[in-house]
Structure 1
Amino acid sequence: MTISTTSVLGMSADGKIAPANPKAARRPDPVDHAHLEVQTAQADLILIGAGTIRAEGSTYTIGNPELLAARQVRGQPPQPITCVVSASLDLPVELPFFGQPVERWIFSTAKAIAANRQPELAERARLIAVGESDLDWDRAYTVLAEAGIKRVAALGGGGLIAALLAAGRIDDLWLTVWPVIFGGKEATTPVEGKGFEPLSAPNLELVELHQRGSELFLHYRICK
């Protein structure tokens, strides 16, 4: 089974996904929120890094009645599965995420699951080993295929996106450019990890571009 993976990202005009102080108050962005909802509503499963869940506290859920109705017509449940990627299983069970009305998976390693000291995690989420001591994305995508997952939305953070790109698992990405400058050398970027050498870096093909006010929405295909 072929699984399509779309990364949905946003960044400031200077390439930051959050200010240097990630907990600083930010203005609501209904335009980007609506775009994210449209893209996420097509997915069977959302991939989110553990750091993002710890920072945000909860996963993204769909509330638009039209998008919910479209999911029902397609035979999808109201909300996509949320799969958190955590090699360490460092996920406090007090997070609001564990009380949200969504199906929860956690991709981790056999080593971390065996050493898990929070039995509540296994009660509130499906723990899935996708590697012995390191995450194996080939194994992870085999698990997805066996579960009938066809469309994946990867929502970050930067470490997860870097790992998926390195594994060749992202097919296309939507990148919102917000008309603001955050600055700060410690501020996070859409893709973290070790980085890519220029000659082996993923190349992109621009598929479409939309402008709404001063905000840009760029849709790229990963060249493979």
Structure 2
Amino acid sequence: MDRPYVIASAAVSLDGYIDDVAEARLILSDEEDLDRVDEVRSWADALLVGANTIRTDDPRLLVRSAERRRARVAAGRPETPAKVTLTRCGKVDPGARFFTAGDTPRYVYTCDSTLDEVRSKLGGSATVLGAGDPLELPRMLADLRGRGIERLMVEGGGAVHTLFLSAGVVDELHVVYAPFFVGQRDAPRFVNPADFPQGPTSRMTLADTRQIGDLVFLRYLPRSDRAGRG
């Protein structure tokens, strides 16, 4: 396989938004669902978010459960997965928790034209790599696979989910729906307009569904040529 097995994960409102326009972050999930997400994180070799998610949410991207961290170490794996981001414009903050939280490899993929700028900005806080001009997703994924990343969890945001889904490189799609509407025209959506291969004539397979409190979890298999992770 020339790329990692990819799980894309998102929590959305019933009308398809992943946040609202308020300054405070919109809470879509609950503790039980966050534990489910943590379980998937512990499965992964790397966690990926876009640079805009780092700017707006400042995520730590760590495995929360001490028991799961110990299990990873006992299996000869790092305590928490590697972190990955991609940025076309090079707007990254070396003080963000993506770069400061946890002791794990960090990879930043950017356009070849901004490579020197981003390397200068981040210093030794991450491995900065060029992935084409414009940025080429297959090249980035192949490089990750070559670095031993076999299982990749993509956590957003909307532009990143759009990029991965429209490229047809998502093996599992995990979506949790929160029981409310956002209804704001300028709020960020789960995906943006794109030419998706998962259209009406290529329906995804529903592999799992369950209730989590007042949330609904759905697991889809967008590609018929891949088996699920089990």
Normalising by structure 2, what TM-score? 0.87
SS at match of 2:16: coil
How far has the Cα of 1:74 moved from its partner? 3.0
Query: Which residue is 1:206 aligned to?
Result: 206
1:160-219 Cα deviation digits (max 9, x unpaired): 111111222111111011122221111111112545488588631100101122211111
SS in 1 for 2:19: coil
Asked if 1 retains the 8 angstrom alpha-carbon contact of 2:17 and 2:190, the reply is yes
Paired-residue identity, %: 23
Partner of 1:121: 122
Query: Please, which moves more after superposition, 56-65 or 26-35?
Result: 26-35
User: Is the CA contact (8 Å cut-off) linking 1:59 and 1:82 kept in structure 2?
Assistant: no
Partner Cα separation in structure 2 for residue 148 and residue 117 of structure 1: 23
Q: 120-129 or 93-102, which moves further after superposition?
A: 93-102
**2:131 equivalent in structure 1:** 130
Instruction: Name which of structure 1's ranges 209-218 and 90-99 shifts more when overlaid on structure 2.
Output: 90-99
Residue 19 of structure 1 aligns with an amino acid whose one-letter code is: D
Secondary structure (helix, strand or coil) at the match of 2:17 reads coil
Residues 31 and 202 (structure 1), Cα distance of their counterparts in 2 relative to 1, 3 Å cut? farther
Instruction: Please give the secondary structure, in 2, of the residue aligned with 1:47.
Output: strand
Distance 1:7 1:128 in 2: 22
Q: Which residue of 2 aligns with 1:111?
A: 113
What is the alpha-carbon root mean square deviation over aligned residues? 2.3
Q: Which amino acid aligns with 2:164?
A: L
Q: Is the 2:25–2:57 contact (alpha carbons within 8 Å) kept by the matching residues of 1? A: no
Other-structure match for 2:12: 11
Paired positions, count:
222
Provide TM-score, normalisation by structure 1.
Answer: 0.89
Q: In structure 2, give the amino acid aligned to 1:104.
A: R
The amino acid across from 2:170 in the alignment is I
What SS does structure 2 have at the residue aligned with 1:220? strand
Distance 1:30 1:120, change over 3 A: same
Equivalence for 1:182? 182
- 3-state SS, counterpart of residue 123 of structure 2: helix
Distance in structure 1 (CA, Å) of the matches to 2:127 and 2:198:
38
How far apart, in 1, do the equivalents of 2:22 and 2:146 lie? 40
Q: Distance in 2 between matches of 1:105 and 1:86?
A: 11
Kindly tell me: are residues 153 and 25 of structure 1, through their superposed partners in 2, closer, same or farther at Cα, counting changes over 3 Å? closer
Q: Amino acid of the residue matched to residue 108 of structure 1?
A: T
Q: Match for residue 90 of structure 1?
A: 91
